[in-house]
Structure 1
Amino acid sequence: MPNPTPSATRVAVVGAGIGGLAAAGALLRAGLRVDVYEQEPRPREAGVGMHLGPNATRILFRLGLEEALRTLAVRPEALEVRTQDGRLLDRRPMGDTWEKEYGAPHLTVLRGDLHALLADRVPSAAVHLGAHLVSCHSADDAVRLRFADGRETSADLLVGADGAHSAVRRTVAGAEHVVLSGASALRGLVPAAQVPGLAPDTMYMWVGREVRLLVVPVDAGRQFTYVALLPATDVPAEEYWTGRGDPALLAAAFDGWHEDVTALVRASGTPGRWTLHDREPLPRWGHGRVTLLGDAAHPMLPHHGQGAGQALEDAVALAHFLDGTPESLRRYEEFRRPHTTRVQLGARGGGSQKVQASAPGGLRQVVEDTSWIHLYDVEAALVESGADA
């Protein structure tokens, strides 16, 4: 990693989640001076397991993380769709098939494991914890930031990577209309040993009339992460990301289902609660010396599993364009916004929502809907577009 010179562009990144750390690492490798400001008092990554599509893993492999990821993560060999009584509706091979088709594997990984790998790429001295941003102002010569504890600082450019509830986005877009999507989720982790009927190299989807359960192996097959999708009326409408769910609600939703499902529910403990809200794509990501990245720029429903993948692509593109000027931020936005808007809108009604017990072929449609996302190579797209750094 090159050492930035004292005169190098100073970039403030707000948010030390996956997107913020990926951006910070990319900008540091480009020779810029970077400070990351995180409101939490200690580094952490909320959530349980996550998908890394081929568009994401090819980026991470190019960063030298292939060996670590292949050790920590799981490359699922198949995705199975089953009815609530366990009948197999469809089975889609993955593993080698997907890796050959897309040029990189689909991996499933604990969010904390990926977060730690990215954190290792950013010097701890560059990460400032307990820094809750309360205001930022883009002037002609700098961006000025003020934090809840009274700290103030300035930078040449500001990247808001502070998630779906972004304080930086509010300075760009103001108040926004957030709509309950009609679905909510309970999620958690279960040791694989407690669900012996499930293969630790297979993803599962159980579909009912109103609820469905997605189960994915993580942690080198030692655990399964699950997401139970329920009607939004079953949980409070407030937009929680890390709330506590009700074990009784989870048990009631899957009462009488196949024994593999009920075994997982019994082993799940207290689930996390996640209400799924939707937003319209932003017409712009920034102004002056400010831009957005990841969920702060394009918060999307999780049905295509692309939250992290799109943030990683953003980080690559941002580092490509950034030359220290506000104009370079606009070039970054112009390159990325059409792509992320298409992904964001495609997640509405996508993914498992297209799979119904009464309508065979839904899984094939899901794969077709997302193939273009998995095939996308952000570095190749930058070259092909003739985008100037």
Structure 2
Amino acid sequence: MKIAVIGGGIGGLSAALQLLKAGLDVHVYEQAPRITDIGAGIQISPNASRLLLRLGLKSAMDAVGMRPREMHQRRWDDGRTLQRAPLGPEVEATFGAPYYHFHRADLANLLADALPQDRLHTGCKLVGLEQKGERVIARFENRATAEADLLVGADGIHSRVRGLVFGPEKPRFTGCIAWRGLVPAERIRHLAIETASHSWVGPGGHVVHYWVSAGRMMNVVCIVEHGDWTRESWTDKGDVADVLARYEGWHPTVRGLISAFPETFIWALHDRAELPHWSAGRVTLLGDACHPMLPMMAQGAAQSIEDGAALTALLRVMPDDIAGALARYEAVRKPRATRLQQASAANRIRFHLPDGEAQHARDEAMARSSDRSIANIGWLYAHDAASTL
């Protein structure tokens, strides 16, 4: 079976590696001239890391990834702990795979390095698709073409494949804006920040930060409500002074991290209506192309890796019934992705509650039972997308 994967990000590359390991003839087409996944930090929980470990990537992942010992959530002003939960040895022992933090580019590059060179085609910007009987033909801006039995759109939130197959998208601005910064370790040694996933929640916003790139940099993401920036680009530069102004009065650690930004990038958070279907004929979607989610569950990349595993498993057992495999893929994956989209949207509200009665009730609930405890997070981390079909 010949498969064309459009998009050389984390979802597309991991899917290609899984499909290739299953004995399928896979090629990846990426519009950028080289693999340099933009953005900053990314969290890969055991439900996804177990799938990458099966590809023989443990040494490469350990070389650049960080293994946080815990998740630590604090109040915005006084730093009081609201909840802690293990992410280190206890999680690995329970779920059989580690929890990692990566720089997105580090993870994308190690996936690309694991793919045979002749399977990855850069500089291929998709401009057209045509389905002819049992074949799909992709046409690229550089006049190259690709013909396959199945085409997988793994081309992200602004998916060209989705647009060509299902028509123009209608993103909805959530009202939230985000800034991100990568802080070199030497700039923040004095803050003595432990290797953990840190989250600060406060009125109208929250901040997440953790070490990446083997501890050389701290990834920081600041999200606030009621922003007036509406562009959904990861490459628009922001102003560090604007970030500091929006976090006036927050804990000195938060402000110290922001003050140490060498630069910052700003983007608006949008959501999209649920797609009725992910597949049409011999074309299907995975990852952000079909189920984009707000970043409040840290599951966007993990779910794209799960998509690739499920699709691979189904094509392996249904090689002569692509339509049936795609129908089953959607039936298996859509409910789980939707659940996480909804959980992420709910966390946006919960993390940004104004100080008051509702916020106090939230803090007390977190103190009683951490939603990230091993008992409460098992439905997410224990899932094996390659076998629960």
1:381 to 378, 385, 388: 388
Confirm or deny that 1:28 pairs with 2:20. Answer: yes
Aligned partner of 2:268 in structure 1 is 275
Partners of 1:48 and 1:111 within 8 A in 2: yes
Aligned partner of 1:367 in structure 2 is 372
Confirm or deny that 1:346 pairs with 2:340. Answer: no
Offset at 1:12? 0.9
Aligned partner of 2:107 in structure 1 is 114
1:73 to 62, 65, 68: 65
Q: Which runs of 5+ in 2 are unaligned?
A: none
- TM-score (norm: length of structure 1): 0.89
Tell which deviates more after alignment, 46-55 or 337-346: 337-346
Offset at 1:150? 2.5
Structure 1 distance, partners of 2:29, 2:226, is 34
Partners of 2:229 and 2:267 within 8 A in 1: no
Structure 1 distance, partners of 2:5, 2:313, is 16
Tell which deviates more after alignment, 142-151 or 81-90: 81-90
User: 1:230-289: CA deviations, max 9, x gaps?
Assistant: 1242x4213223322222211211234332222211211221212111112212111111
Confirm or deny that 1:303 pairs with 2:296. Answer: yes
Confirm or deny that 1:96 pairs with 2:89. Answer: yes
Offset at 1:342? 1.8
Aligned partner of 2:199 in structure 1 is 205
Offset at 1:50? 0.7
Aligned partner of 1:230 in structure 2 is 224
Aligned partner of 2:209 in structure 1 is 215
Partners of 1:241 and 1:275 within 8 A in 2: no
Partners of 1:179 and 1:279 within 8 A in 2: yes
Structure 2 distance, partners of 1:130, 1:67, is 29
2:118 partner SS = helix
Offset at 1:192? 2.4
Aligned partner of 1:387 in structure 2 is none
User: 1:13-66: CA deviations, max 9, x gaps?
Assistant: 100001111111111112222221111112110111111111011112222222
**Aligned in 2, Cα 1:268/1:45: closer, same or farther, shift over 3 Å?**
same
1:44 to 36, 45, 56: 36
- TM-score (norm: length of structure 2): 0.89
2:75 to 49, 71, 83: 83
Offset at 1:163? 0.4
Aligned partner of 2:322 in structure 1 is 326
1:243 partner SS = coil
Offset at 1:152? 2.7
Tell which deviates more after alignment, 161-170 or 326-335: 326-335
1:282 partner SS = coil
**Aligned in 2, Cα 1:244/1:46: closer, same or farther, shift over 3 Å?**
same
Offset at 1:227? 0.5
Tell me the percent identity: 39
Aligned partner of 2:285 in structure 1 is 292
Aligned partner of 1:10 in structure 2 is 2
> Which residues in structure 2 correspond to 1:118-133 (within 5 Å)?
118-133=111-126
Partners of 2:35 and 2:108 within 8 A in 1: no
Q: Which runs of 5+ in 1 are unaligned?
A: 1-8, 383-389
User: 1:132-182: CA deviations, max 9, x gaps?
Assistant: 111101121311111122223322211100001101111332123321122
**Aligned in 2, Cα 1:208/1:77: closer, same or farther, shift over 3 Å?**
same
Structure 1 distance, partners of 2:73, 2:295, is 18
Confirm or deny that 1:336 pairs with 2:333. Answer: yes
Offset at 1:91? 4.2
Offset at 1:98? 2.4
Confirm or deny that 1:261 pairs with 2:254. Answer: yes
Structure 1 counterpart of 2:12, which letter? G
Structure 1 counterpart of 2:29, which letter? Y
Tell which deviates more after alignment, 254-263 or 266-275: 254-263
Offset at 1:370? 4.7
Tell which deviates more after alignment, 69-78 or 178-187: 69-78
> Which residues in structure 2 correspond to 1:156-195 (within 5 Å)?
156-195=149-188
Offset at 1:187? 0.6
Structure 2 counterpart of 1:380, which letter? S
Q: Aligned Cα RMSD in Å? A: 2.1
